[in-house]
Amino acid sequence: MAKVVGVQFKQAGQVYYFELPNIELKIGDSVVVETTRGLAIGKVVTAPKDIAPTELGEPLKPVLRLAQPDDFEQAEETKQKEAEALSKCEELVEKFELPMKPLVAEYNLDGSHLTVYFKAEKRVDFRNLLRDLSSSLKTRVELRQVGARDAAKLVGGIGRCGRPLCCASHLYKFEPISMKMAREQDLPLNPANISGVCGRLLCCLSYENEQYRIMKQKLPARGTHIITRMGEAKVIGCNPLKETVIAQLESEATLEVPLSEIEPHSHTAQS
């Protein structure tokens, strides 16, 4: 059995597993690990556990040590250089007239590797940019193109709700979002009203979708005739969260009827 631990490098970032040598670790500890881009500081987010070698797929890189004061100082020094690196990249993008927008620059712990994330509508030939940027910063540079949702996650910001973006604050994985979810929740189908700052459908459409689906199955479908305390009526709407339907009487007056007050034999549940 191999002992592994889950490490996260950013808030709401993906969790990566590393092999754990003879080090006592607990959730919340900061550790120095070896990654494909060199050394990095991450935070332990899952307790150490034993995994069979057959479950690992490929050999994991190791946790090297608990992060020390010197490691944090070095990380702060490289962090201060990231704004300068991003500015230099933007300058070169303008020089070469490339159709791309640099978003974030990230150094590894010792500054030997720089990753620049950028957004672009199409593939970009950035060979000249990469050459000049590496020469100017005197380090190995990797340019990575990201999509609209990942770009929003990297940059962060405030959503339509007035709170920090979900993707940047707690979502570590993007779930598929569809217009069907908006329809299920009776939301306006105007993309401008149900899209986030990334221009894609709001991630939060998925939060209550299953609950809406389950609750709407209990309610009669639109157009169904039901018996209410005011007589026979036709269902013209519903409120799944309140478990009520909006019904129209023959007089064309409307009323809100709790599901509990609808005779069980008088309606057909929505599929």
- C-alpha distances in angstroms, 211 versus 86, 217, 241? 43, 10, 9
The percentage of residues in the chain with a pLDDT greater than 70, rounded to a whole number, is: 95
pTM of the model: 0.79
pLDDT confidence bin for 265, thresholds 50/70/90: very low
Q: Are the C-beta atoms of 133 and 89 separated by less than 8 Å?
A: yes
C-alpha 199 chain-centroid distance: 14
Quick one: CA dihedral 256, 260, 262, 268, positive or negative?
positive
- The confidence score (pLDDT) of residue 269 equals 46
Residues in the chain: 271
- Interval 83-92: pLDDT, tens: 999 999 999 9
Provide the 10 A C-beta neighbour count for residue 248.
Answer: 14
- Interval 144-153: pLDDT, tens: 999 999 999 9
Domains in the chain, please, with CATH? Answer: 2-67 (no CATH), 78-146 (3.30.300.20), 165-206 (no CATH), 215-266 (2.30.30.140)
The position carrying tokens 């950013």 is: 10
Q: Are the C-beta atoms of 21 and 40 separated by less than 8 Å?
A: no
pLDDT confidence bin for 110, thresholds 50/70/90: very high
- The confidence score (pLDDT) of residue 70 equals 96
Mean pLDDT score across all residues of the chain: 90
d(C-alpha 234, C-alpha 254), whole Å: 9
- The confidence score (pLDDT) of residue 131 equals 96
